Amino acid sequence: MIAYRAPLQDLRFALHDVLNLQGHCAKLPIGDACNREVSDAILDEAARFAEQVLAPLNASGDAEGCHFDASTGEVRTPQGFKQAFAQFAENGWSGLTAAEEDGGQGLPEVLGAVFKELVDSANLSWGNYPLLSHGAVNAIKHHGEAWQQQVFLRPIVEGRWTGTMCLTEPHCGSDLGLLKTRAEPMDDGRFAIFGTKIFITGGDHDLSENIVHLVLARLPDAPAGTRGISMFVVPKYKVSIDGVIGARNSVRAGSIEHKMGIHASATCVMNFDGAEGWLIGAPHKGLAAMFTMMNAARLGVGIQGLGLIERAYQSALSYSRDRLQMRSLSGVKAPDKAADPLIVHPDIRRMLLTCKSFAEGGRLMTLHAASLVDLVEHGDESTRGEADSLLSFLTPIVKGLLTEAACECTYHALQCFGGHGYVREWGMEQLARDARITTIYEGTTQIQALDLLGRKVIQQQGIGFKQFLGMIVDFCSQHAQVAELATFVAPLAQAAQDWQQLTLEIAQRIQRDPEELGAAAVDYLFYSGYVTLAYWWARSVAAADRSDLATRQAKRATAQFYFKRILPRCHAHAGAIRAGAESLMTLDAALFD
Amino acid sequence: MIAYRAPLQDLRFALHDVLNLQGHCAKLPIGDACNREVSDAILDEAARFAEQVLAPLNASGDAEGCHFDASTGEVRTPQGFKQAFAQFAENGWSGLTAAEEDGGQGLPEVLGAVFKELVDSANLSWGNYPLLSHGAVNAIKHHGEAWQQQVFLRPIVEGRWTGTMCLTEPHCGSDLGLLKTRAEPMDDGRFAIFGTKIFITGGDHDLSENIVHLVLARLPDAPAGTRGISMFVVPKYKVSIDGVIGARNSVRAGSIEHKMGIHASATCVMNFDGAEGWLIGAPHKGLAAMFTMMNAARLGVGIQGLGLIERAYQSALSYSRDRLQMRSLSGVKAPDKAADPLIVHPDIRRMLLTCKSFAEGGRLMTLHAASLVDLVEHGDESTRGEADSLLSFLTPIVKGLLTEAACECTYHALQCFGGHGYVREWGMEQLARDARITTIYEGTTQIQALDLLGRKVIQQQGIGFKQFLGMIVDFCSQHAQVAELATFVAPLAQAAQDWQQLTLEIAQRIQRDPEELGAAAVDYLFYSGYVTLAYWWARSVAAADRSDLATRQAKRATAQFYFKRILPRCHAHAGAIRAGAESLMTLDAALFD
């Protein structure tokens, strides 16, 4: 097992040299209070926590898994998880980006995203426990009544309580319109919830004093489908409206899943047997409220993808430098050794550079998206609206691309190890198993793709798309005269133009045949992701040209690789899209076998 | 868990309608004795064995894994494995394709490949135990002395003994030139073997009376590198030269690996502590001898890929027909149900058709390769040479493409299940975990790619390549006038031409810079694989046009999908190859982090 090291140098490059963190903070209430010294201190402390507290629990947590006591419905997390969570809460990580009025530190989401990347690289399963607390805070803050905010926010922000999202049921995952869980009004404004939810991350555990479930259910008079869904807050232990914890509520884990990976993350079947809760937001408007939480969670899962890519890359790089196997094709490189290190071989480099380009480019994608979250929350009126539409557009791209890339990169990184990658010892196979959930939960890649193409591009007339294209065009015209950037700026400008053209074509196709939407969506998601990453790589090179020689060389060579070997994948995706729905829809369902 | 069903209909289509099994058998000693009745009976019996005996042990074997007794070095396989192996031996499957003089049935390798596909679909781990026996028989038959053949062949053919290949050592996997295991001559013609081998599949188990290890080691006077490697046969229980089993030999499993998948396949560390064995073949010529075994094993692993693709496809298809989720984009398809089945959605179809096109096309690739093995063994003088060079060329393509496709297809199939794919219950995550080893063992994809491009195309002046291109050109010119085939024949002819052109370009590049070989190899392997599969899809459509309506429609629609959505991946691979070595080699190894 190769020890995890937080990529502090690249994080600082991204935050300061590319994204201008200080300029960003100036637009937020925190302003100068979040200066370089503060952010450096946070990075160092976050690195220490991830490297020293969480990373050592990753393999052991995987091997041990969670324990379920069927007689009580209680889940016990693997050894060390509880202590790590206590440190996390004590050290204020839990409220890093929460409002000061709720007990948080009011720091920007950009730094929250940095912390999350480090956590997910170190220990993805552990990172799932606080993940949904963040979303629960958002949902209650935006949709809850004043007393609900009073009661629920501070304990969650302080890490004494945690949150969950209860959406999926046995017969419905992607299609929430089918959900059956029902809420019956009680006479005191509370509701009794009945139903079964599955795949509930952190549905039960031993890390916090209380667990606050945000549950989608139907009121008695609810219309069918997605317009009849309301959101309820249902705590594990009942809470009075003045915040006092009371008796055990009738919500219990019925079992935990045995999964391919994230063994240390408890995935629960949750039985609501008349559990008492309160309505959050307006009746029948639960899905919209849940999306406040969901979007944050989707970005969070995108960051999980990034964290896994970075971890896989580091390990494969280290192994490829140490492991001696065969001689270089262009002559002996390490004459004093029995063979050359793996890293001399071109295909090992191809796999490493694929990981590196996704990790460093993906880091900018996630940090930029997080900066938009800051602007949506704290920007002035006009900034807020623009940031919101841009963020809506980018969220499915971040989630979709980086989770698919995590599967690809953990694949490559494992391959660098050969047979040693397939055994537990080096930790590579765990990364591959853990990565596999990220393209599924919080909306599959297919759902992200339909959200991107159907909702964000077609229904919303591409507001966010146009904004992002504008950013690319601006960058390209600002740098059009810089000779050293020509190899990046010209193909980026072309890619942006092709993207726009392809989008128009797809819109026309969809007008003729609605199946074209589903037939194009996933390829369009990848296409969009690759162009987005190309933009961040071009910006990285431009920023690195103001940096030291080593950074300049590394960023240029990696960007070159990206533009020559990854970006051209767009052609294959465009080709698939232009093959149209016919190539998918012709075969009668009865004739597939 | 969805029950496995052997794809008998498609197997019969492949064997008879496309490959003309009867015509093939006519070229072999068995001739008419392997008629349609015989092959149908074998298919039915093989299906019964795979579906009823092996498939039910797949999930339980994965959950239980193998047991290692450190005090004795003995491995116990999961429950039911021993009984299944006994049935396998009793029913003659073990000697299906072995020569009658050695106790086998002398049936063609084509039918052996059918049987192997079914076994691997049903239970990949179990299939690993007999896999290497087959290779051991080949190696001893071709390189062993008469008495060695006398002693070792019949017990292995009859399934009373099994074989292993002992190549890898802790410090060398792909690079066998580094191996250190040594063989010291004893005074009676035997050798004492000292060393440690790792990753030995079936190194110990409880399925057979004896285990015959074929071990690579160095003689005292051996030159360094790959030219100093000899092959030895080292049985677990000593055997006298008249075949009587004696005392325990000093070869023992030191431990078994904890792996990502194939839990029921024992992967052993083997310690040779002066274990007694005999030289097989000439001194220092062990690597060539081992390649007799290795090539058969590589085809076998290609078939493993096929088996996994077929199994994943069947399961995902069944689930996609049953699971109701969301409405079709072009209007309600199942008005009497709460939602439409998944299979109405274009992207689910994309994933299913990807699996289907690899399964059915891949089946023809493997059966064709197996038919070449038959001709190499039993054809007349001229046929033999041609078959041998063609088989050499196709082997890395079959192994490389179908194992990578297995990883891709088990990925898609799992994705069709959403969250249900990630939990154990449905068996999809096991398929994904099991598939992951296939691109590694018996030579990684990188090694297959170097073998294909470096050895088969460049060093051997592309003899096999030209033969295969000739087959494509012949097919295209024979069918050039058939209007209904134009949509397949024209792009296939073009693809073949592009393939040839690309190959010439690469050869020129390599002359300028040897790193171009490594930089192009993996992309070239995929490129070659996709064109090969296009050939088989075009032939399938041509054959199906003489078949019933349902087969015709299904083959046409799937081929259409393949040509429109999979074959165009070649463009991306060609682009990557043309990006050249520079895009991979520029970054200094010290600057990767």
Does the beta-carbon distance from A174 to B352 stay under 8 Å? Answer: no
Q: Active-site residue among B377, B404, B442, B516?
A: B442
Two tokens at A307? 């964290």
Catalytic residues of A: 442
Burial class (CB in 10 A: 0-12, 13-18, 19+), B452: buried
C-alpha pair distances (Å), A429 with each of A61, B175, B423: 14, 22, 17
* Helix axes of B146-157 and B124-143: crossing angle, nearest 10 degrees: 160
Of B346, B521, B575, Cβ closest to residue A347? B521
Identify the closest residue of chain A to B415 by CA–CA distance: A440
Chain B residues whose beta carbon lies within 8 Å of the beta carbon of residue A423: 257-260, 267
Does the beta-carbon distance from B172 to A414 stay under 8 Å? Answer: no
Identify the closest residue of chain B to A411 by CA–CA distance: B436
Of A317, A326, A433, Cβ closest to residue B174? A326
CA distance A148 to chain B (A): 32
Measured between alpha carbons, how far is B432 from B463 in angstroms, rounded to an integer?
36
Of A317, A347, A593, Cβ closest to residue B518? A347
Measured between alpha carbons, how far is B300 from B295 in angstroms, rounded to an integer?
8
Query: CA geometry: angle at A66 spanning A63 and A69, to 5°?
Result: 140
Does the beta-carbon distance from B329 to A515 stay under 8 Å? Answer: yes
Of A328, A350, A587, Cβ closest to residue B557? A587
**Region B323-343 average pLDDT:** 96
Of B419, B550, B583, Cβ closest to residue A565? B583
Contact A295, A448 (CB under 8 A): no
pLDDT of residue B381: 87
Identify the closest residue of chain B to A437 by CA–CA distance: B422
pLDDT of residue B382: 86
Chain A residues whose beta carbon lies within 8 Å of the beta carbon of residue B585: 346, 349
Of A579, A585, A591, Cβ closest to residue B554? A591
Query: CA geometry: angle at A86 spanning A82 and A92, to 5°?
Result: 145
Q: Give the closest residue to B564 by CA, choosing from A522, A505, A582.
A: A582
Measured between alpha carbons, how far is B527 from B311 in angstroms, rounded to an integer?
25
CA distance B175 to chain A (A): 5
The residue ranges of chain A whose pLDDT is under 50 are none
Chain B residues whose beta carbon lies within 8 Å of the beta carbon of residue A435: none
Q: Give the closest residue to A40 by CA, choosing from A71, A8, A82, A86.
A: A8
What does the pLDDT look like over B209-218, one tens digit per residue? 999 999 999 9
pLDDT confidence tier of residue B536, bands split at 50, 70 and 90: very high
pLDDT of residue B303: 98
Chain B residues whose beta carbon lies within 8 Å of the beta carbon of residue A314: 593
Residue of B422, B438, B459 for testing the chain A interface, max A β-carbons within 10 Å: B422
What does the pLDDT look like over B477-532, one tens digit per residue? 999 999 999 999 999 999 999 999 999 999 999 999 999 999 999 999 999 999 99
Chain B residues whose beta carbon lies within 8 Å of the beta carbon of residue A407: 411
Exposure letters A171-190 (e unless 16+ CB within 10 A, then b): bbbbbbbbbebbbeeeeeeb
pLDDT of residue A384: 94
The alpha-helical segments, DSSP class H, found in B267-424 are 286-322, 346-378, 381-416, 419-422
Identify the closest residue of chain A to B348 by CA–CA distance: A446
Identify the closest residue of chain A to B581 by CA–CA distance: A346
Of B257, B418, B564, Cβ closest to residue A579? B564
Query: CA geometry: angle at B226 spanning B225 and B228, to 5°?
Result: 80
Measured between alpha carbons, how far is A414 from B462 in angstroms, rounded to an integer?
32
CA distance A224 to chain B (A): 11
pLDDT of residue A292: 77
Number of Cβ atoms within 10 Å of the Cβ of A588? 11
Q: What is the dihedral of CA B231, B236, B242, B243, to 10 degrees?
A: -120
Measured between alpha carbons, how far is B508 from B502 in angstroms, rounded to an integer?
10
pLDDT of residue B292: 77
Chain A residues whose beta carbon lies within 8 Å of the beta carbon of residue B121: none
Pairing of strands B267-280, B191-201: antiparallel
Does the beta-carbon distance from A591 to B557 stay under 8 Å? Answer: yes
pLDDT of residue B501: 98
CA distance B55 to chain A (A): 19
Identify the closest residue of chain B to A317 by CA–CA distance: B592
C-alpha pair distances (Å), B387 with each of B112, B369, B394, B397: 18, 9, 10, 15
CA distance B446 to chain A (A): 7
Does the beta-carbon distance from B433 to A569 stay under 8 Å? Answer: no
pLDDT of residue A3: 97
Q: Is the pLDDT of residue B182 over 80?
A: yes
What does the pLDDT look like over A342-387, one tens digit per residue? 999 999 999 999 999 999 999 999 999 999 999 999 998 889 999 9
Whether ipTM tops 0.90, in short, is yes
Does the beta-carbon distance from B325 to A257 stay under 8 Å? Answer: no
Residue of A268, A446, A459, A582 for testing the chain B interface, max B β-carbons within 10 Å: A446
Question: A285 has which bridge partners?
Answer: A229
pLDDT confidence tier of residue B366, bands split at 50, 70 and 90: very high
Does the beta-carbon distance from A344 to B441 stay under 8 Å? Answer: no
Does the beta-carbon distance from A422 to B260 stay under 8 Å? Answer: yes
CA distance B447 to chain A (A): 10
Chain A residues whose beta carbon lies within 8 Å of the beta carbon of residue B425: 258
**Region B267-276 average pLDDT:** 98
pLDDT of residue B193: 98
Measured between alpha carbons, how far is A105 from A98 in angstroms, rounded to an integer?
6
Of B321, B353, B579, Cβ closest to residue A565? B579
Measured between alpha carbons, how far is B231 from B281 in angstroms, rounded to an integer?
7
Contact B142, B289 (CB under 8 A): yes
Does the beta-carbon distance from A446 to B344 stay under 8 Å? Answer: no
Chain B residues whose beta carbon lies within 8 Å of the beta carbon of residue A168: 419
What does the pLDDT look like over B99-115, one tens digit per residue? 999 999 999 999 999 99
Chain B residues whose beta carbon lies within 8 Å of the beta carbon of residue A569: 572
Contacts across the A-B interface (CB distance below 8 Å): 266
Q: Is the pLDDT of residue B19 over 80?
A: yes
3-class secondary structure, A132: helix
Pairing of strands A182-185, A67-69: unpaired
Does the beta-carbon distance from A557 to B587 stay under 8 Å? Answer: yes
CA distance A243 to chain B (A): 35
Identify the closest residue of chain A to B320 by CA–CA distance: A589
Residue type, B86: A
Number of Cβ atoms within 10 Å of the Cβ of B153? 24
Residue B408 annotated in active site: no
Contact A430, A58 (CB under 8 A): yes
Measured between alpha carbons, how far is A529 from B443 in angstroms, rounded to an integer?
33
CA distance B453 to chain A (A): 13
Of B172, B424, B593, Cβ closest to residue A325? B172
Measured between alpha carbons, how far is B29 from B378 in angstroms, rounded to an integer?
7
What does the pLDDT look like over B459-475, one tens digit per residue? 999 999 999 999 999 99
CA distance B569 to chain A (A): 6
What is the SS3 assignment for A273-314? EEEEEEEECCCCEHHHHHHHHHHHHHHHHHHHHHHHHHHHHH
Identify the closest residue of chain B to A587 by CA–CA distance: B557
Measured between alpha carbons, how far is B445 from A518 in angstroms, rounded to an integer?
33
pLDDT of residue B470: 98
- CA-atom Rg of chain A in angstroms: 24
B418: left (phi over 0), alpha (psi -120 to 50) or beta: left
